[in-house]
Amino acid sequence: MNFWEYVSTRHQQLLTDAFQHVSAVFQCMVLATVLGVVIAVLSYRSSWGGSLAITSTAMILTIPSLAAIGLLIPLVGLGVPPTVIILTLYGLLPVVRNAIVGLRGVDPSLVDAAKGIGMSRTARLCKVELPLAWPPILTGIRVSTQMLMGIAAIAAYASGPGLGNEIFRGLASLGSANAINQVLAGTLGIVVLALLFDAAYVLLGRLTIPRGIRV
Amino acid sequence: MSETVTGPTETPAAGTTASGATIRLENLTKSYPGNPAPAVDNVTMDIKAGETVILVGPSGCGKSTTLKMINRLIEPTSGRIRINDEDVTDMDPVKLRRKIGYAIQSSGLFPHMTVAENIALVPKMTGWSKSGVKDRVEEMLDLVGLDPREFHGRYPRQLSGGQQQRVGVARALAADPPVLLMDEPFGAVDPITRDHLQDELIRLQHELHKTIVFVTHDFDEAIKLGDRIAVLRERSHIAQFDTPEAILTNPTDDFVSGFVGAGAALKRLNLTRVRDVGIADFPTVTVEDPLQLIFDKLRDGSHNELLMLDRRNRPYKWLRRGDLMRAKGSLARAGQLVHDTVTRDATLHDALEAVLTDSGGRVAVTGRRGEFIGVVDMQTLMNSVHELLEADRLTAMEHQHDLEHLRGHQTEQELEGGGSGL
Ligand SMILES: Nc1ncnc2c1ncn2[C@@H]1O[C@H](COP(=O)(O)OP(=O)(O)OP(=O)(O)O)[C@@H](O)[C@H]1O
Ligand SMILES: [Mg+2]
């Protein structure tokens, strides 16, 4: 059976895996974005707070993902929980870093003006600082998503959802007839999905970045 | 107020504006951490309602710091701020700032919002109705001389520097605050635009009577805009706080005269308008008068020169007796075309400029539609400048006298009462 025959006979399973892969990444990305922005908002105004946030989220990334997920299984069990935890944590760094850089990069005279015309702390943050920091934050989200697409494959190790199942099955049965096809299908699937995601982000950027600051 | 049932968030009707409030700074001091010398040291200043006060001084002398303490962008280390006799030193700064317009050098417009959204910010925050906000935005754009239809939906980056500044001022005035703080608002635009913006501000202030505190390091700007000027030296110590006339003619010390710069007498010319000096009559004829009449007028000896007006009474040509001799019966080529005229609102500086460039040493003064009113000549200008300077000197001396009197009085009181007044 060649690769295309394999894909056409197994397309039902592949589509399900692909959908779950995307869904897992998307949901964890939303979580990572919310968490990341909150962490950035809480820390960007103090220089050591910001460094602490960036360093600690960067540290998470240095832990090999396979090891991390293995360590989580005894704590939270198999399946969805370890997947969500791993993806969210790994997705944090680019969001936190870009949000801090973005928030710090807002022209101080604009912040001054916002204060000067009587905007409250919250209004300043929501109406001025975050919208102006949004382009770099979106870039962070984009980078994060690309990274999570790959890391999500590891989730299959903990019986999580996604295209990683194809890859792991293939790797486990190397030498058998369809082993290579399985690994290939899983990997290519992830690459294609990542490209689609990226296209979606370009669109999202056009929709959410205000016209006045679009480059 | 009590008859209207629209509640506390009511929108003021178009046309009514809150005019200025008094501002009193009492022993205001600001020390930044890590620096033993305060950036602003014990400033006391009284600003009247509806007055434009300019803070001027060298870079780093604490002008911005002083200004920002008024809306508490910078919290004073000690001292009090009173607006309309209300102590606002401990008031919620957000509430305070909504009653104080604030315009800064870089315009401070939010680039991700349209012009209309920028202007609407403060009225929206203070709870104006939707339609009220919308009308107000149009009104404000009109006020600063921008066509609402054209500029409404533009983003700041689609505006020129001068237009951005106008929008900045419109935003600062949008919620009709009694006080307006401006920190070098025209510092970043070219000289011609700056001149326009200054004229606009004068016009605005004529209509609105806000209390304006304006920071600049350009003394000419200070003279042009200020009802009173506070010349500050380092740490915001007030070197002199007085009218432009008094500062020009009677600087208290070398620091102030250094700041006034060379040509104080020339600068004085900017403070007086042509309407304030004698505008003299001048014999005129019109292009429609018969040639004979013109000849007769010149020949009868009383005038050496005539001003010929066109059909709409506007100055057209200067005619000398000699010109007519050479003209030989036709006026088409005789005489000198009028190059330059001034209005009654022109400054003496402009008038002098025109007189100096005219070979005859005089300039025609015209009314609103360009019609001839009279002439101003060199001699009149010289005389009035002398008179002005003399008068200034006298008032300054009187003023000085009053001040000394007052100071003597205060010392007396302090000696007697030991400062029990607090
Ligand atoms: N945040 C700050 N921390 C420490 N020192 C400051 C701070 N802001 C201003 N200063 C100091 O306070 C002094 C007054 O500054 P300020 O900005 O009020 O000057 P300025 O008169 O507005 O000058 P310029 O004309 O250059 O704008 C300066 O010596 C400045 O170095
Ligand atoms: Mg300054």
Q: What is the pTM of this model?
A: 0.75
Tell me which ligand sits closest to the C-alpha of residue B33. 1
Q: Name the residues around ion ligand 2, CB cutoff 5 A.
A: B 64
Q: Which of A109, A110, A117 to mutate to test the interface with B (most CBs of B within 10 A)?
A: A117
Please name the residue whose Cα sits nearest to atom 29 of ligand 1. B60
Q: Between these two residues, A114 and A3, which has the higher pLDDT value?
A: A114
Which residues from chain B sit within 8 angstroms of residue A116, using beta carbons?
71, 73, 97, 102, 104, 108, 181
β-sheet bridge partners, residue B230: B55, B241
- The model's confidence at residue A43, banded by pLDDT at 50, 70 and 90, is very high
- Identify which of B94, B104, B126 has the shortest CB distance to residue A113: B104
Examine the pLDDT at A204 and tell me if it is beyond 70.
yes
Task: Determine the straight-line distance between the first and last CA of chain A, rounded to whole angstroms.
Answer: 49
Which residues from chain A sit within 8 angstroms of residue B106, using beta carbons?
107, 109
B113: its two tokens: 């919002």
Q: What is the DSSP string of A100-165?
A: HHHHHTS-HHHHHHHHHTT--HHHIIIIIIHHHHHHHHHHHHHHHHHHHHHHHHHGGGGT-SSTHH
SS (H, E, C) chain B: CCCCCCCCCCCCCCCCCCCCCCEEEEEEEECCCCCCCCCEEEEEEEECCCCEEEEECCCCCCHHHHHHHHCCCCCCCEEEEEECCEECCCCCHHHHHCCEEEEECCCCCCCCCCHHHHHHHHHHHCCCCHHHHHHHHHHHHHHCCCCHHHHCCCCHHHCCHHHHHHHHHHHHHCCCCCEEEEECCCCCCCHHHHHHHHHHHHHHHHHHCCEEEEEECCHHHHHHHCCEEEEECHHHCEEEEECHHHHHHCCCCHHHHHHHCCCHHHHHHHHCEHHHCCCECCCEEECCCCHHHHHHHHHCCCCCEEEEECCCCCEEEEEEHHHHHHHCCCCCCCCEECCCEEECCCEHHHHHHHHHHCCCCEEEEECCCCCEEEEEEHHHHHHHHHHHHHHHHHHHHHHHHHHHHHHHHHHHHHHHHCCCCC
Structure confidence at residue B392 (pLDDT): 73
CA distance B173 to B67: 17
Examine the pLDDT at A55 and tell me if it is beyond 80.
yes
Question: What mean pLDDT is predicted for residues A185-195?
Answer: 91
pLDDT digits (tens, 9 = 90+) for A75-107: 888 888 888 999 999 999 999 999 999 999 999
Amino acid at position B103, single letter:
A
Backbone angles phi, psi at B372, to 5 degrees: -70, 135
Number of domains observed in the structure of chain A = 1
CA distance A202 to chain B (A): 19
- Identify which of B73, B106, B157 has the shortest CB distance to residue A115: B73
- Identify which of B96, B101, B112 has the shortest CB distance to residue A212: B112
* Of B68, B25, B24, residue with least CA distance to B48: B24
Examine the pLDDT at A143 and tell me if it is beyond 90.
yes
* Of B105, B115, B59, B126, residue with least CA distance to A108: B105
Return the half-sphere exposure (C-beta side, CA atoms, 13 A cut-off) of residue B223.
21
B350: its two tokens: 């402009």
Structure confidence at residue B411 (pLDDT): 67
In chain B (422 residues long), the average pLDDT of successive 10-residue segments reads 39 57 92 90 92 92 93 93 91 91 89 94 89 91 88 91 90 91 88 83 86 91 90 91 86 84 73 83 86 80 82 88 70 80 84 82 86 88 81 73 73 58 42
Tell me which ligand sits closest to the C-alpha of residue B56. 1
CA distance B110 to A127: 9
Examine the pLDDT at A175 and tell me if it is beyond 60.
yes
B95 close contact with A: CB closer than 8 A? yes
Which residue ranges have their beta carbon within 6 Å of ligand 1?
A: B 32, 35, 39, 59-65, 217
Domain extent for A64: 3-213
CA distance A45 to chain B (A): 17
Identify the structural domains of chain B with CATH numbers, from first to last.
23-267 (3.40.50.300), 275-381 (3.10.580.10)
CA distance B108 to chain A (A): 5
Structure confidence at residue A19 (pLDDT): 92
Structure confidence at residue B7 (pLDDT): 37
ipTM of the complex, rounded to two decimals: 0.84
Question: Quick one: closest CA in B to A132, which residue?
Answer: B112
Question: What mean pLDDT is predicted for residues A61-81?
Answer: 86
List the CATH number of the domain containing A118.
1.10.3720.10
β-sheet bridge partners, residue B45: B25
Report how far ligand 1's centroid is from the alpha carbon of B56 (Å): 14
